Amino acid sequence: MLLDTPHTQHRVEPPPSTGALDTLRGAAYRIGALAKHNTLIRLRDPGQMISYVAMPMVLMLVLKPLYVRAVEGGATQVATGLMVMFSVFAISIAGNAILVERTWRTWDRLRASRAPATELLLGKTLPIFVVMVVQQSILLVYGCLVIGLPIPRAPQYVVFAIAIWAFALLSIGAALATIVRSHGELSVISDVGALTLSSLGGALVPLSIMPDWAQVAAHISPGYWALTMMQAAVRGDAAGTLAPAGVLLAIGLVAGTFAVRRLTRGWGRGHLL
């Protein structure tokens, strides 16, 4: 190895150019190391994750009678609506997880390592992705057992829908983290923006009882597509699941690509607060 010192007794992995398989193996190893590291950080500060599971459970229970009286299929609306609404907070979790690396000045240390920005982002968001899937699964089971959500005819559609939605949210969160200048800015954009968009998408109030203009405007909200997808998945409607999934996948890819490009460049000294 050219760049090892002559007396080294340590084996340093060959550089990525040695072959496609080595490149993949090396990338998987680094992503695994980063994911483990970020899981540790997350587990040592779990309060936020716990609240995002507990709060929708309480709200589902309290709001169920209201929804059941207001609309047909009220139990489905309250369960899926709050699942979507409280998953939107993942934007804030992902954004903060990236932004805090800037506060700690650790992002440049990671950038100086062998891992490219894509690996750093994957290692960063994988644990949050798992958390989201677990959160949504818990809420789904809770919805079926306690709230009266119909048991999904095709659970695989629901798992697929949860995964797509998680991907879109985490990509949006990562992209946001690269353009805001502080945790305060991120909080304003992710919390207010996410609540507005999920409400507009029909997660809080059923679209059918919203004004006409809101029903049209709902289409610009990722929350609308997530809710449509989730409800179709619970019904076991493959076509109804795939169409909104395509929209969310596109949003996720655009946001994710933007985040990777920005993170490759770093924040730079001129942009630090």
**Residues of span 139-198 touching other proteins by CB under 8 A:** none
Stretch that binds other proteins, among 103-111, 152-160, 171-179, 207-215 (CB under 8 A): 103-111
Smallest separation (angstroms) from other proteins to the CB of 148: 40
272 binds other proteins (CB under 8 A): no
Nearest by Cα to 127 from 45, 183, 43: 43
Instruction: Identify the residue among 75, 97, 115, 168 touching other proteins (CB under 8 A).
Output: 115
**What is d(CA 88, CA 84) in angstroms, rounded to the nearest whole number?**
6
Show the tokens assigned to 203.
């997660």
Show the tokens assigned to 240.
């109804």
13 binds other proteins (CB under 8 A): yes
Stretch that binds other proteins, among 13-21, 69-77, 215-223, 255-263 (CB under 8 A): 13-21
Nearer to other proteins by Cβ, of 8 and 156: the residue is 8
Question: For tokens 């879109």, what's the residue?
Answer: 168
Q: Is the dihedral of CA 137, 70, 241, 49 positive or negative?
A: negative
**What does each C-alpha distance from 237 to 61, 149, 182, 233 come to in angstroms?**
26, 16, 42, 6
Q: Is the dihedral of CA 56, 57, 63, 67 positive or negative?
A: positive
Smallest separation (angstroms) from other proteins to the CB of 147: 36
Nearer to other proteins by Cβ, of 25 and 153: the residue is 25
Q: How far is CA 101 from the centre of its chain?
A: 18
**What is d(CA 203, CA 67) in angstroms, rounded to the nearest whole number?**
12
Instruction: Identify the residue among 39, 70, 108, 155 touching other proteins (CB under 8 A).
Output: 108
Q: Are 100 and 185 in contact (CB under 8 A)?
A: no
3 binds other proteins (CB under 8 A): yes
Smallest separation (angstroms) from other proteins to the CB of 201: 35
Question: For tokens 């690509």, what's the residue?
Answer: 257
Instruction: Identify the residue among 57, 70, 111, 118 touching other proteins (CB under 8 A).
Output: 111
21 binds other proteins (CB under 8 A): no
113 binds other proteins (CB under 8 A): yes
Q: Are 123 and 36 in contact (CB under 8 A)?
A: no
**Residues of span 41-70 touching other proteins by CB under 8 A:** 41, 44-45
Smallest separation (angstroms) from other proteins to the CB of 17: 8
Instruction: Identify the residue among 6, 69, 211, 212 touching other proteins (CB under 8 A).
Output: 6
- Could you tell me which residues come within 8 angstroms of residue 68 by beta carbon, excluding any fewer than 6 positions away? 74, 75, 78
Instruction: Identify the residue among 23, 27, 37, 242 touching other proteins (CB under 8 A).
Output: 37
Interface residues with other proteins (CB under 8 A) are 2-15, 26, 29-30, 33-34, 37, 40-41, 44-45, 104-106, 108-115, 266, 268-270
